Amino acid sequence: MVSCLNPAFRFAGQQRIWAAYRERAEKLNVGTENPLLTRYIEIVSLQAQLSSILLSTLEVPQADSDRALLSYFNGEALRPLLALAVCELTAMGQSQPPGESLELLEELWNQVEDFAYPRDFAARLVLEVFATGLSTLPHKEIETTPDHCPHCGFTILCSIAREEGMGRKRSGQCSLCSSEWAVARLGCLRCGEQRASNLPVFSFDAWMHIRVEACDSCGGYLKSIDMTKDAAALPLPDDIASSAVNIWAFEQGYQSIGNSLFRL
C-alpha cells in the first residue's frame, strides 16, 4: 500500500485538479455560453493531458523541506510538454505563434522575465501544470509580499473567503501553483491600506459569490470568491466565468492586482 506521504503519490494526486476545473467550467457554461469559458474548457483539457504526460515521464525529485519550490525546475522533463502545448495552441488557432524556448521557460519560472500574452501562453500552461504538481512536495516558503505566493513567488489570482469559527478567514490563491496562503481579513494586499473608508467592496447580482475588493489608495482591485455562498466554486474557472467583473472594475478606474489566465 502506497503511503499518502509518498511524494510521488502526492504529486499524482494533483492530476485530479484539472478534471475538477473542467467539470466546473462546463457546469458554469451551461445555458448562456461564455466564449472565454468555452476556450478555457479546451485549454484545461490540454492541461489534463500535459499533467498525465508529466506524471508518466517525470522522476519525482527527492523532496526536501529546506528547498524552495523553484529549485525543483526540470527543463528536460518540460521540453516535450512545451512542444505539445505549442502544437495544440497553434491548432486551436492562436493568432500569434507561442514561444517554444526552453531558456525562456526557465526565465519565466525564475521570474527573470514577465509573462507576455500571447507569446508565453504555452509556457504558462506548462508551468501551471508543473508548479501545481510540485506544490504538493515538501518545500520551504519564501519571503514575499502578501499579493505574491509564498510557495512559488508568483502573483495572486484572487482571494478566497471561508467560514472559520464564528467569523471568516481570508486566503490568497496563487495564479500559478494553485496554493493558498493566509492573508489579513482586512486590507489591500498590494499597498497595505487598512482604512475601511478607502477599501470599497462591490458585489454583483449575476455572481452572488463574487466580490471586488478595491483600494482607493493605490487604485488596485482584487476579485474575491466567497465559498460561504457557493461551496462548489473553484478559483480559476469561476474567475474566468465572471470575466465581465474585470471589465467593470477597469471601467471604474481600478487596475487588477491579480493575474488571471487570459490577462484580464
Answer yes or no: do 128 and 192 share one domain.
Answer: no
Cell of 173: 490563491
**Mean pLDDT across 220-243:** 96
Q: How many structural domains compose the chain?
A: 2
The reported pLDDT for the residue numbered 30 is 93
Answer yes or no: do 127 and 168 share one domain.
Answer: no
Answer yes or no: do 123 and 208 share one domain.
Answer: no
* Residue 262 pLDDT grade (very low, low, confident, very high; cuts 50, 70, 90): confident
Indicate the pairing of strand 167-174 with strand 156-164: antiparallel
The answer to whether residue 52 scores a pLDDT higher than 80 is: yes
Single residue among 134, 164, 197 that ends a domain in this structure:
134
In a domain, 205, yes or no: yes
Residue 181 belongs to domain spanning: 156-256
The answer to whether residue 132 scores a pLDDT higher than 90 is: yes
DSSP 18-73: HHHHHHHHHHHTSSS--HHHHHHHHHHHHHHHHHHHHHHH-------TTSBGGGG-
**Mean pLDDT across 68-90:** 93
Answer yes or no: do 126 and 17 share one domain.
Answer: yes
Answer yes or no: do 32 and 108 share one domain.
Answer: yes
pLDDT tens column, 9-38: 667 777 789 999 999 999 999 988 899 999
Average pLDDT, the chain: 90
* Residue 5 pLDDT grade (very low, low, confident, very high; cuts 50, 70, 90): very low
